[in-house]
Amino acid sequence: MEDYLEVIDELIQQRGYATTPDISKYLNVSPPSVTKMVKKLDENHCLIYEKYRGLRLTEGSIKIAQNIREKHRLFAEFLGTIG
């Protein structure tokens, strides 16, 4: 779930929107898998899904995605210092 939030946020920042095919390609997973997760995220009020218009994250999900990205950045930085 974290990966999806992070990727959706990144795509929105890059393009202004995120679509199921974009997420599928970015994560290298099947489109049906993305659709299933998007529905789950929508049910949990993590995003706003507008068919044929793309996805938008809720304010809370944007903060979560940013925290995830920062956590990944710090982890990569840590790995760089030890190895």
Give 57-81 pLDDT, tens digit per residue. Answer: 999 999 999 999 899 899 999 998 8
Enumerate domains of the chain plus CATH numbers.
2-82 (1.10.10.10)
CA distances from 2 to 7, 11, 80 (A): 9, 14, 23
Residues near 55 by beta carbon (within 8 Å), at least 6 away in sequence: 8, 12, 17, 18, 19, 20, 38, 47, 48, 49
Q: How confident is the model at residue 16, as a pLDDT?
A: 87
Q: How confident is the model at residue 4, as a pLDDT?
A: 94
pLDDT digits (tens, 9 = 90+) for 25-54: 999 999 999 999 999 999 999 998 877 778
Residue 64 φ/ψ, nearest 5 degrees: -60, -45
Residue 1's nearest CA partner among 32, 40, 29, 28 is 40
Q: How confident is the model at residue 28, as a pLDDT?
A: 97
Task: Return the SS3 of 17.
Answer: coil
